Structure 1
Amino acid sequence: MPRAATRQRKQSFLRRLITPVIAIAALGYFGFHAMSGELGMVGRAMIERQVSELEAELGELTAERQELVAKVSLLRPESLDPDMLDERARLNLNLVHPDELVVLRPGHRYSMN
Structure 2
Amino acid sequence: MAKRSTFRTLLRRAGPPAALLIVGAFFGGYAIMGPNGALAYGDIQRQLNKREGDLAALEKRRAELKNRVALLDPRHADPDMVDELARRKLNVVHPDDMIVDLGK
TM-score normalised over the length of structure 1: 0.59
Identify which of 51, 56, 78 aligns with 1:54: 51
Query: What amino acid is aligned across from residue 101 of structure 1 in structure 2?
Result: M
1:93 paired residue number? 90
Map of 1:1-113 to 2, 5 A cutoff?
32-102=29-99
Unaligned 5+ segments in structure 2 are: 1-13
RMSD across aligned positions (CA): 3.1
Instruction: Measure how far apart 1:36 and its partner are.
Output: 2.1
Q: Would the alpha carbon gap of residues 65 and 105 (structure 1) be closer, same or farther in structure 2, given more than 3 Å must change?
A: closer
Secondary structure at 1:95's aligned position in 2? coil
TM-score normalised over the length of structure 2: 0.63
Q: Which has the higher helix share?
A: 2
Seq. identity, %: 38
Instruction: Measure how far apart 1:103 and its partner are.
Output: 5.9
Instruction: Measure how far apart 1:101 and its partner are.
Output: 3.3
Query: What amino acid is aligned across from residue 70 of structure 1 in structure 2?
Result: N
Query: What amino acid is aligned across from residue 98 of structure 2 in structure 1?
Result: L
Q: Rg bigger for which structure?
A: 1
Instruction: Measure how far apart 1:69 and its partner are.
Output: 0.6
1:104 and 1:62 map into 2 onto residues whose CA distance is: 25
Instruction: Measure how far apart 1:84 and its partner are.
Output: 0.3
Moved more, 57-66 or 27-36: 27-36
Greater relative contact order (CA < 8 Å, ≥ 6 in sequence): 1
Query: What amino acid is aligned across from residue 82 of structure 1 in structure 2?
Result: P
1:98 and 1:34 map into 2 onto residues whose CA distance is: 71
